[in-house]
Structure 1
């Protein structure tokens, strides 16, 4: 597979399972095994197996931003052993806040899951309009990619 465009049509469901992050998650390189724990609706927890105190709220970005799209580099596909786009799930980390208008999603650094091989990696998108703290409000459902 060459660079592949990732959009809502090219992702799959992420089920409760354990995933290996070969290099950890940025800021947590020593934690390589994470479990996805479904929570409420489209939200899940990504919890470190070796340190359950380390967990991230994750969500399917396409639920909130249907126009979200990016290129998945060939080297990432090879590293995660992705041979079929049907085995790809994408999630983004959410920063929670008690005030809903301050809840944000990191669209600039999605987490790519190979659900078949149970491998994952957070990637940093280059030359993108997406931000690390994109507001996660109901009005964002109507935004186009240009507005992101």
Structure 2
């Protein structure tokens, strides 16, 4: 198992099959192609996309459907030779955090699309009008924590 240095967790052993390869690199970070997903906290929708080659490079990402249930990536916007058929995709979006803004913002225009089986993919720019800095709505409450009527 390879060992990588991480920004937030020190050195970690990762399985080779857990590494994601960006054949279409993240814009501005073309030199870094191998990443691993690490949880920010248990039971939290936020993940770190940690570079396997640069310890200081870690992005915060989410599954966009958690906050944007109508979000979709059109097959014509993705290189199918890299990411495979849509049924095999895992889609993530990068988050940005700015001082003075209460909520992070999601880059819905340029998602990361990876094939769940080959772990290959990358960043793709969509032709649809999704925004580059869409504020996240409040996190939906889990169903179990919803108030229940008393009998």
Give the secondary-structure state (helix, strand or coil) at the position aligned to 1:22. strand
When the two structures are superposed, what TM-score results if normalisation uses the length of structure 1? 0.73
- Greater CA radius of gyration, 1 or 2? 2
Could you tell me how far 1:134 is from its partner in structure 2?
Answer: 0.3
User: Considering only aligned residues, what root-mean-square deviation do their CA atoms show, in Å?
Assistant: 2.3
Per-residue deviation, residues 10-67 of structure 1 (Å, max 9, x unmatched): xxxxxx9210112421101111111111223111001111101111000010000101
Q: Aligned equivalents of 1:64 and 1:119: distance in 2?
A: 25
Contact conserved, 1:101 with 1:137, CA < 8 A, in 2?
A: no
Q: Aligned equivalents of 2:137 and 2:85: distance in 1?
A: 35
Could you tell me how far 1:136 is from its partner in structure 2?
Answer: 0.8
Task: Judging by fraction of residues, say which structure has more helix.
Answer: 1
Q: Aligned equivalents of 2:77 and 2:107: distance in 1?
A: 22
Matched, 1:44 2:19: no
Match of 1:107 in 2: 108
* Unmatched 5+ stretches in structure 2: 1-16, 141-151
Alpha-carbon spacing, 1:47–1:98, altered in 2? closer, same or farther (3 Å)? same
